[in-house]
Amino acid sequence: MLDIQTLRKDLDAVTARLAHRSFALDAAAFQALEAERKAVQTRTEDLQAKKNRYAKEFGFAKSKGEPTDGIAGRIYGEGVNPDAVLKQSEEELKGIQARMSEFLLSVPNVPHESVPVGKSADDNVEVRKVGTPKKFDFPARDHVDIGEGLKGLDFDTAAKIAGARFTLMKGPIARLHRALAQFMLDTHTTEHGYTEVYTPYLVNADSMRGTGQLPKFEQDLFAVQHNDSKMYLIPTAEVPVTNIVRDVIVPIEELPLKFVCHTPCFRSEAGSYGRDTRGMIRQHQFDKVELVQIIHPEYSYEGLDQLTGHAEAILKKLELPFRTVTLCTGDMGFSAAKTYDIEVWLPGQNAYREISSCSNFEGFQARRMQARYRDDKGKPQTVHTLNGSGLAVGRTLVAVLENYQRADGNVDVPTVLQAYMGGLKVIEPPKI
């Protein structure tokens, strides 16, 4: 949610910057609504003030045993039904405020000035490239062939159990998946200063609204009915973790809060039919290790660079080639002010594919969820929120399988993971 004060003051500038991300802000509608709000709010509060004055004088007169007949006429004038007028005015104001809030919730974040202007992923700007894609002296297979050859990935059985876009892992590949998550958590907690958290995987609507999934993107979520309300399966740990600070004033000396969290993520993938249907690139359920920072606004861009570096560190330790790009204005998510995508090299696709997305939301999420700190004058101020994948575990597994494959169809275990694999150095098919 944008700051309504900014909209009032710099409506034209905001409209112009939102246009870069192909969002047409209806400035006229906003101004009309704002004018209406002002008129109705002033009138309503005036009526409320009269009502308060009336009650006060009434009580005062009563206590002194004076008559109370003349009071209403003196305050309200003759011939009006103050209750009905007030009630109607309050209803009207409520309606306007609801419309205003709906309007504000539907406006995406304003891109930071450093974000390149562009229309699509083609306009993203590469900031660095690390490692060189390995040349294989045999035709590189993709993770599906590798995993099925090792009897460790089974998409048919997953489809039987659940449907399309699910994976069943077995044996050393299942263990490799687990090892990756452990390795990531350990690295971020022991080397990057994050606190590990475990959270609910089902959350309420307030939490989804706080991080921006609701109200606009309900179709991307899985939901379950619970009692009379809906609960949502988290599409990323960003949701429960960032909502830790919803309605909280964080002591300034505790900033930045740095959390790391490993969860499954559930996404309906509505609207992505036919895209990435092969393998485990795009799943309804996948594991991710998420980094979240709650940070002082002054340091949030510094923090974003650091957080992106923390995610990249995992790829470096795994010796996987990657590149990092800055998303252009047209390719960014709804809530982000700036996003870096980290893309890992996948020999099976002969392409770099997204494995992490690191964003600064500035105050966009924090305003929605009233997450604040106190400035040196003691006034509550909105914090900034950051998050990034550190990393998507399923896609990292894909990258390891494809980059560490051998001519015989087996897969070398990256050095840093061997301890997590009980010393195993090579993944081979089961003996029997």
Partner RNA sequence: GGAGAGGUGGCAGAGUGGUCGAAUGCGCCAGACUCGAAAUCUGGUUUAGUCUCAAUGGCUAACGUGGGUUCGAAUCCCACCCUCUCCGCCA
Scanning 21-29, 39-47, 293-301, 303-311 for contacts with RNA by CB under 7 A, the matching segment is 39-47
Is 284 a binding residue for RNA by CB under 7 A? The answer is no
Scanning 57-65, 159-167, 178-186, 282-290 for contacts with RNA by CB under 7 A, the matching segment is 57-65
Task: Kindly name the residue from 357, 359, 367, 402 that is annotated as catalytic.
Answer: 357
Q: Please indicate whether residue 282 is annotated as part of the active site.
A: yes
**Smallest gap, in angstroms, from Cβ of residue 389 to RNA?**
28
Rounded alpha-carbon distances, angstroms, from residue 277 to 127, 139, 223, 283, 346: 29, 22, 23, 9, 16
Interface residue with RNA among 58, 136, 217, 334 (CB under 7 A) is 58
Q: Which is nearer to RNA, 83 or 408 (CB)?
A: 83
Is 41 a binding residue for RNA by CB under 7 A? The answer is yes
CA distance 192 to 167: 31
Q: Please indicate whether residue 428 is annotated as part of the active site.
A: no
Q: Which of residues 129-148 bind RNA (CB under 7 A)?
A: none
Interface residue with RNA among 13, 31, 32, 62 (CB under 7 A) is 62
Per-residue binding letters, 222-241, with RNA (x by CB under 7 A): -----xx-------------
Tokens standing for residue 10: 């710099």
Q: In angstroms, how far is the first alpha carbon of the chain from the final one?
A: 58
* Number of shown-chain residues binding RNA (CB under 7 A): 28
Tokens standing for residue 364: 């966009």
Q: Please indicate whether residue 395 is annotated as part of the active site.
A: yes
Interface residue with RNA among 6, 48, 88, 272 (CB under 7 A) is 48
Task: Provide the binding-site residues for RNA, judged by CB under 7 A.
Answer: 4, 38, 41-42, 44-46, 48-49, 51-56, 58-60, 62-63, 83, 227-228, 249, 372, 378-380
Which residues are catalytically annotated? Answer: 267, 282, 354, 357, 395
